[in-house]
Amino acid sequence: MKTSFRNISLTVLLALAPAQFARAADAAEMAAIVKQKIESLRADCATGRRQVTVTLEELNRLRVKDVDLRPQFEKFKAELVKMEERAQNGRNRADAMKAKGEEFFADWEQQVRSIQNPDIRKAAENRLVKRKKSYNKILAAMQEAKAELVPFMSNLNDLKKMFDGELTASSVASAKDLIRQANWHGTDVNESLTDVEKELDRVAAELAKYQ
């Protein structure tokens, strides 16, 4: 899937914005478009989780009895290259969403303060608080996934360097603790990505009321 993680910021901001921010676009039509984008981004997030799983599977097969180590190591390295790309996309995505979100809500707050009618202003303030809370939950899950990627990728690259230097049954056996840590950290990454997906599902469900 070619959908970029970096597109998530604008997409979710559109999803959380009030109907009047759509301007010329019909609210129901805009909701349908944004929901489709969120579903696509959610699928991309799931692809990231699968890459974590596949990379660990190839790593763990190095410990299978009588495995042909060299070709198996090459399979692991090939998946690690893909994992590096996914990790970089994830870091870019989290950073972009944080930066764009702060700017977006600052503009929104300024517009709310400019509303003269107190009743309308109060309703707008309530919507702003609710949408900002939703956005912050997604952002927190994304930042957590970014943080979990650090030790995970460190483990994987340390193992690659170790086996580049010596690839034997003995060296693989001696790396069992580091391999175990990689699996633990991979689980943490996948749990954080699952949290992002859950929040995207909740936003998509919120959009359904406009359709």
Residue with tokens 């919507």: 127
Tell me how far apart the alpha carbons of residues 100 and 184 are, in angstroms, rounded to a whole number.
32
Neighbours of 39 (CB within 10 A): 13
* Residue 65 burial (C-beta neighbours within 10 Å; 0-12, 13-18, 19+): exposed
Residue 21: CATH number of its domain:
1.20.1420
Amino acid, single-letter form, for residue 119: D
Nearest to 141 by CA among 8, 17, 35, 2: 8
Average pLDDT of the residues of the chain: 80
Domain of 56? 5-210
Give the span between the Cα atoms of 136 and 53, in whole angstroms.
27
Q: How confident is the model at residue 77 (pLDDT cuts 50, 70, 90)?
A: very high
**Model confidence at 183, in pLDDT bands (50, 70, 90)?**
very high
**Residue 200, pLDDT above cutoff 70:** yes
Confidence band for 140, pLDDT divided at 50, 70 and 90: confident
Exposure letters 77-106 (e unless 16+ CB within 10 A, then b): bebbeebeebbeebbebbebbeebbeebbe
With 70 as the cut, is the pLDDT of residue 142 above it? yes
pLDDT tens column, 95-137:
777 777 666 666 667 777 777 888 887 877 777 777 777 777 8
pLDDT of residue 32: 63
Q: What is the largest CA-CA distance in the chain?
A: 76
What is the band of 7 on the pLDDT scale with cuts at 50, 70, 90? very low
Amino acid at 156: L
**Total tally of structural domains belonging to the chain:** 1
Measured distance CA(186)–CA(152) in Å, rounded: 6
For residues 89 and 167, the model is more confident at 167
